[in-house]
């Protein structure tokens, strides 16, 4: 599978979703709940994760600097969230397709019947 994030209109390829990548990602997703970390340490972890994920050169290109002090921390946080979403997307797409397939298998008469029942319930609750 291929994973890509878009930052400022430019695409950045991500490595395949391996145990090592997921271990690093798991650590990054816990930075907000780790009370032992200072704010600086939290953003250092995010920055290191991005450098390890896309490479230092691309990370510098993405944020306009390789120095944490010069990077917009909201952009950094957003990029990390895009990485999370990129890795989750294939599974979410599969689940969505599976749900739609089940929904499409429901006979139209049942859908109409459920809609009428919901409307009736709404009518009673509004009185």
Nearest to 20 by CA among 61, 53, 67: 53
Strands 10-14 and 3-7: antiparallel
How confident is the prediction along the chain (127 residues), in pLDDT tens digits per residue? 999 999 999 999 999 999 999 999 999 999 988 888 999 999 999 999 999 999 999 999 999 999 999 999 999 999 999 999 999 999 988 888 888 776 666 666 766 777 877 777 766 655 5
In this prediction the pTM is 0.76
């Amino acid at each position: 599978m291929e994973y890509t994030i878009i930052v400022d209109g430019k695409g950045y390829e991500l490595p395949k979703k391996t145990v090592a990548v997921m271990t690093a990602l798991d650590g990054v997703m816990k930075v907000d709940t780790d009370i032992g970390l200072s704010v600086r340490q939290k953003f250092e972890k995010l920055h290191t994760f991005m450098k390890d994920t896309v490479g230092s050169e691309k990370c510098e290109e993405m944020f306009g600097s390789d120095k944490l002090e010069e990077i917009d921390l909201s952009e950094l946080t957003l990029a990390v969230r895009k990485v999370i979403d990129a890795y989750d997307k294939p599974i979410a797409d599969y689940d969505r397709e599976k749900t739609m397939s089940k929904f499409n298998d429901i006979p139209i008469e049942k859908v109409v019947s459920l809609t009428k029942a919901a409307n009736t319930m709404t009518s009673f609750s509004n009185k």
